[in-house]
Chain A
Amino acid sequence: MPLKLDQIRDLLRQRFPDHLIVEDLDNHDALVVPREIYLEVAELLRTDEELDFDYLEFETCSDMPPDLLNFVAYFRSLGKGHRVALKVKLDRARPSLPSLVGLWANADWNEREIFDLFGVVFHGHPDLRRLMMPEDWEGHPLRKDYLHPNVVKRPD
């Protein structure tokens, strides 16, 4: 039986009673977890037999100036058929997170892309280089305050 989102939330709350785990109002598949327990929650999703999230669908980020950077990772259980997203609110000035490469190998390029375009540093990533932009590029283009001399503003 696929687990519903509130069941997953309750399960996580049982395991992490000291931390605040809430549903995300903007995204009906997501649970907002504190940054400190993000890796432990991900590890639980991967290893717990009832949860059994064996597939990392996607990791992404959204820039919320002036001081917030929302990180989202989508997980799916191919065996059980349920899915969940974890959302972590990061400090926009110095965003960093532990890497998921040890748990899901395909986190490698996802995290390189987020590092490239948003500037999030993933601790424990084996090869954190730019993925999209040229190697000597400066800045992180998907930040909303990003400026580049190549940009010609569209006239209103």
Chain B
Amino acid sequence: MGLIDRIPAYIEKTPGGGVLMTGVNSILNEAKASSMWYMLFGLACCAIELMATGASRYDFDRLGMIFRATPRQTDLMIVAGTLTLKMAPRVKLLYDQMPEPKYVIAMGGCTIHGGPFYHDSYSVLKGVDKIIPVDIHVAGCPPRPEALMNGCLALQDLIRTERLGHDRDRPGLRQLTQRQIPGQPPVNYLPTGGALIRPNEIPILG
């Protein structure tokens, strides 16, 4: 994002640069929204629906979405399935390895709040937004391909509202900061960089 972030600084110095900015914004946003390559990984039964959505009947390809098998080439992480405490540091690491701009779709009840494993479970992380910021939550157990497709369209709309030089207003990030109690260390402290967090260090909220 380094170069893209610096473009507005140059453009706004030129007279009438605002007009040019609008054009650049919409072109870049359309480009980002039309090629959301997603990471090829699934955690549980939601991954089956994710595969169905990627296959020919529902066809992610028509949104320009192709799966990539490495985080270095992906724009979008679809967390599909139950996230256990053992897997959580790995998912956090994958997220950290993705280049900006990056987006996250939390697919299914487990990734939103633990789903059927909310009660009486010792090993499931109750919501992926405790470790990574989530842009779109898709409800369902598992969500049907139509629901996931709808979530991707919603994410496209979100991307189209972005403006160069402004921080992205990501609902997941807003949630993370809202949970912070003034004067106390943040409950959802996200280790920076690619540091591996231990399962016992993942903050657990009731």
Contact = CB atoms under 8 A, between A and B. Distances in A.
A134 B118 contact: no
A153 B120 contact: yes
A146 B120 contact: no
Contacts of B198: 134, 136
A137 B123 CA distance: 10
Nearest to B86: A134
Of the listed residues B86, B119, B122, B124, the one surrounded by the most CB atoms of chain A closer than 10 A to its CB is B122
Q: What is the predominant secondary structure among interface residues of chain B facing chain A?
A: loop
A138 B51 CA distance: 36
Interface in A111-154: 132-134, 136-138, 141, 146, 148-154
Contacts of B126: 150, 152
Contact of B122 (A136, A146, A155): A146
B204 A150 contact: yes
A148 B122 contact: yes
Interface residues of B, number: 15
B14 interface: no
B202 to A, nearest CB: 9
Contacts of B184: none
B206 A136 contact: no
B122 A151 contact: yes
B140 interface: no
A154 B86 contact: no
Interface string B165-206: 000000000000000000000000000000000111000101
B122 A141 contact: yes
A132 B84 CA distance: 11
B119 A153 contact: yes
Contacts of A150: 85, 121-124, 126, 204
Nearest to B88: A134
Nearest to B204: A150
A150 B122 CA distance: 5
5 contacts: A132-B86, A134-B200, A148-B122, A151-B120, A152-B206
Interface of A: 132-134, 136-138, 141, 146, 148-155
Given A134-B86, A138-B200, 4 more contacts: A146-B122, A150-B204, A151-B121, A154-B120
